[in-house]
């Protein structure tokens, strides 16, 4: 049976074990994740993650905002994949509204979503390798990440907090040279993945630090709520993009990398393969990009073009109404899940028929994945805890919300 | 794509594998169901939630083996005030179902499902922390997001958005 997370408690009479607050080690442990270890020498007896240091009450804030005002809040939940959050929230509200999204907007969403996945995996790979001691990889990864952030800036005006997807489509037409720049990046990128793999995959130190470390079985992973690469690293072949497609993912061809060992190395291999698959999806999206509008034809929900506002009275009225009063969403509830770089990201949105959501809840993949930590680390060395935390790719913004 | 109206008649929905399975086990466990926007919600009687979850998890025909999420909605001031939401996923069948439990506002408590899915641990702690619902049988029911000495449960509707000043 899988472990349950409870607090380590010391028996006052004993002097064999001691309590240690771990970190800062991973970039996430600088003040936002506290890991409490009970150790016997170098061996971890018990481990408990203590979270909540980054809790900002976003779910409560959402209840006081109009539907369209929540999009920028979603960026700040998982700050490494803002566009995936935007997508998941927009899909949920569009499902509540029964809104059909034009094909070009859907393909743009897929394209940017996969770039986001690459961006997020690059931060993960760089920091994970740095934790284990391979500092060079970090610099290589952030070099390519910079290219992706520049693409985001070109398309949305922001490097990180993009808010580019809107309810009913995307915010703006991408700039003229955008697709050429993405294609240039997509052509260059596979050789860069080779570079990272040259540094790590066959590196004896890397292999010794990751193979057979923090192993988790498929049954335990499912029981503890793991998803994404953490689940696929344990041999469960499940990916929401392929198995429960959204935003026209069913039109793309890609493989879902699965590894069976369930250790840190398996999760590393899954994510590195995902980098290659994602760039393949980006290529397909570029090749097959449909033409047409980028926003749904729903004037009561989607903001009008700036041009139209200056020439058409109705557009000006709709703009004023949406900004000042929001738009009413039919009563009901939806749960929309997407495959984020870390696993199943879900938005549960409840509407009571007004312009503000009654309840918005985010299912954080990391919150569930973090529960694997005791099962992974207990009975192993402290140094393996570092590798284990890195391998589940935590983002505390998403865990605490 | 106009929205089709929600189906709330249990008779029309009883062909759904999860409902059929639950009704065959205990007809009183299913209080109602709703099919809306392609999503199935089943209202479960409060005292049978743990057994209903275990039953659906081990159902050989369609095992809902993965607990995606546990959360709550506060319908203050109407009664029953709280609606607990369990999102279940069947990894082999690629299907979802939502279980709901209604709870009154006075000392709300429900049986924990941590013995069915250990993953419910953090989810239930979060619901306890932010809504003040007790989960009996939970191994470590403590606040998870808010500080230990915090007063009140912030996601309740009678808690002001700006907090108490």
CATH code for the domain in which residue B103 is found: 3.30.460.80
**Looking at the complex, does the CB of residue A36 fall below 8 Å from at least one CB of chain B?**
no
User: Where residue A184 falls among pLDDT bands split at 50, 70, 90?
Assistant: very high
Contact by Cβ (8 Å): B109, B83? no
CA separation, residue B144 to residues A7, A269, A339, B130, B154 (Å) = 12, 32, 25, 9, 13
ipTM, two decimals: 0.92
Helix (H, G, I), strand (E, B) or coil at A181: helix
Question: Where residue B152 falls among pLDDT bands split at 50, 70, 90?
Answer: confident
* pLDDT value at B149 more than 60: yes
pLDDT of residue A160 exceeding 80, the answer is: yes
Q: Please tell me if residue A7 touches chain B, with a CB cutoff of 8 Å.
A: yes
Give residue B18's pLDDT.
83
pLDDT in tens, A241-283: 999 999 889 999 999 999 988 899 999 999 999 999 999 999 9
Report the Cα A306 to chain-centroid distance in Å: 32
Q: Shortest CB distance from A332 goes to which of B37, B71, B74?
A: B37
Phi-psi region of A292 (alpha: psi -120 to 50; beta: other; left: phi over 0): left
The gap between the terminal CA atoms of chain A, to the nearest Å, is 29
CB atoms within 10 A of CB B152: 13
Confidence of residue A1 (pLDDT cuts 50, 70, 90): very low
Mean pLDDT, range A322-340, rounded to an integer: 91
Task: Report yes or no on B157 lying in a domain.
Answer: no
Range of the domain at B31: 10-108
pLDDT interval class at A357 (50, 70, 90): very high
Q: How confident is the model at residue B76 (pLDDT cuts 50, 70, 90)?
A: confident
pLDDT of residue A10: 60
pLDDT grade for A38, boundaries at 50, 70 and 90: confident
Tokens of A152: 């985001």
pLDDT in tens, B83-127: 999 999 999 888 899 999 999 888 889 999 999 999 999 999 999
List chain A domain ranges.
65-394
Averaged pLDDT for residues B38-55: 89
Residue B66 lies inside a defined structural domain of this protein? yes
B37 contacts in A (CB within 8 Å)?
A: 95-96, 98, 332, 334
pLDDT of residue A28: 61
> Binning pLDDT at 50, 70 and 90, where does residue A104 land?
very high
In-domain check, residue B76: yes
Is residue A209 predicted with pLDDT exceeding 60?
A: yes
pLDDT value, residue A24 = 66
Q: Which chain B residue shows the shortest CA-CA distance from A240?
A: B94
Rounded mean pLDDT, A289-312: 88
CA A64 to the chain's CA centroid: 25
Residue B153 lies in a domain: no
User: What CATH code would you report for A65-394?
Assistant: 1.10.645.10
Is the confidence at residue A232, as pLDDT, over 60? yes
Return mean pLDDT, chain A. Answer: 88
> Given a cut of 50, is residue A311 above it in pLDDT?
yes
Cβ-nearest to B114 among A4, A95, A332: A4
- Global pTM? 0.91
Q: Is residue B22 part of a domain?
A: yes
The verdict on residue B120 lying in a domain is: no
The reply to whether B147 falls in a domain is: no
Mean pLDDT for B147-155 is: 88
Residue A4 has pLDDT above 60, yes or no: no
- Indicate if the pLDDT at residue B21 is higher than 70: yes
Taken in order A229, A230, A235, A240, the sign of the CA dihedral is negative
Give the model's confidence band at A8: pLDDT under 50 very low, under 70 low, under 90 confident, else very high.
low
The answer to the question of residue B125 being in a domain is no
Mean pLDDT of A158-182: 90
- Reduced to 3 states (helix: H, G, I; strand: E, B; else coil), residue A21 is strand
What is the rounded CA–CA span in Å between residue B14 and residue B18?
9
Domain count, chain B: 1
Mutation target to probe the B interface, by most B beta carbons within 10 A, among A47, A330, A368 is: A368
pLDDT band at A2 (very low <50, low <70, confident <90, very high): very low
* Residues paired with residue A34 on neighbouring β-strands, in sequence order: A50
Give me the DSSP letters along A205-231. HHHHHHTTSS---HHHHHHTT--THHH
Closest in A52, A61, A330 to B3, CB measured: A330
Peptide bond into A24 cis (omega under 30): yes
Which residue in chain B is spatially nearest to A101 when comparing CA positions? B1
From B85, B117, B161, residue closest to A348, measured CB to CB? B85
| Residues 338-397 of chain A whose Cβ lies under 8 A from any Cβ of chain B | 344, 346, 348, 350, 358-359, 361, 363, 367-368, 370-371
């Amino acid at each position: 049976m899988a472990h349950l997370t409870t607090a380590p408690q010391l028996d006052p009479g004993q002097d064999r074990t001691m309590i240690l607050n771990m970190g800062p080690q991973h970039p996430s442990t600088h003040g936002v994740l506290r890991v409490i270890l009970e150790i016997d020498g170098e061996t971890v007896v018990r481990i408990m993650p203590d979270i909540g240091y980054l809790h900002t009450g976003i779910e409560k804030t959402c209840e006081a905002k109009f539907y369209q005002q929540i999009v920028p809040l979603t960026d700040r939940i998982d700050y490494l994949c803002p566009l995936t959050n935007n997508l998941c929230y927009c899909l949920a509200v569009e499902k509540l509204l029964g809104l059909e999204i034009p094909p070009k907007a859907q393909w743009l969403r897929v394209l940017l979503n996969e770039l986001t996945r690459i961006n997020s995996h690059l931060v993960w790979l760089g920091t994970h390798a740095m934790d284990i001691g391979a500092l060079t990889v970090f610099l290589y990864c952030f070099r390519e990440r910079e290219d992706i952030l520049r693409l985001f800036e070109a398309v949305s005006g922001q490097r990180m907090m993009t808010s580019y997807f809107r309810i009913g489509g995307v915010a703006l037409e991408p700039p003229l040279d955008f697709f050429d720049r993405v294609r240039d990046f997509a052509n260059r990128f596979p050789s860069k993945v080779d570079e990272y793999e040259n540094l790590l995959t066959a590196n004896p130190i890397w292999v010794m630090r990751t193979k057979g470390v923090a192993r988790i079985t498929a049954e335990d992973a499912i029981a503890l709520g793991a998803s994404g690469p953490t689940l696929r690293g344990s041999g469960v072949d499940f990916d929401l993009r392929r198995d429960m497609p959204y935003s026209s993912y069913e039109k793309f061809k890609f493989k879902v990398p699965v590894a069976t060992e369930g250790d840190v190395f398996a999760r590393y291999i899954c994510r590195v393969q995902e980098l290659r698959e994602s760039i393949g999806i980006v290529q397909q999206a570029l090749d097959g990009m449909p033409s047409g509008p980028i926003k749904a034809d729903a004037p009561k929900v989607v903001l009008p073009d700036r041009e139209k506002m200056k020439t058409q009275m109705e557009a000006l009225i709709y703009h004023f109404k949406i900004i000042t009063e929001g738009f009413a969403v039919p009563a009901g509830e939806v749960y929309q899940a997407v495959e984020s770089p870390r696993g199943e990201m879900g938005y549960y949105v409840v509407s009571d028929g007004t312009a503000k959501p009654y309840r918005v809840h985010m299912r954080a993949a990391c919150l569930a994945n973090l529960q694997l930590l005791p099962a992974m680390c207990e009975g192993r060395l402290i140094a393996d805890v570092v590798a284990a935390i890195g391998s589940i790719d935590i983002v505390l913004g998403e865990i605490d919300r | 794509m106009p929205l089709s109206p929600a189906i709330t008649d249990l008779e029309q929905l009883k062909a759904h594998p999860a409902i059929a399975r639950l009704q065959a086990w205990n007809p009183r466990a299913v209080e109602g169901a709703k099919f809306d926007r392609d999503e199935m919600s089943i209202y479960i009687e409060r005292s049978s939630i743990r057994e209903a979850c275990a039953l659906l998890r081990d159902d050989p025909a369609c095992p809902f083996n993965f607990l995606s999420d546990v959360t709550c909605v506060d319908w203050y001031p109407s009664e029953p005030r709280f609606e607990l939401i369990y999102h279940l996923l069947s990894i082999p069948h690629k299907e979802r179902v939502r279980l709901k439990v209604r709870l009154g506002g006075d000392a709300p408590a429900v049986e924990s499902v941590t013995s069915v899915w250990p993953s419910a641990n953090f989810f239930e702690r979060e619901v306890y922390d932010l809504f003040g619902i007790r989960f009996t049988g939970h191994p470590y029911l403590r606040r998870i997001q808010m500080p230990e000495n915090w007063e009140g449960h912030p996601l309740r509707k009678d808690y002001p958005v700006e907090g108490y000043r």
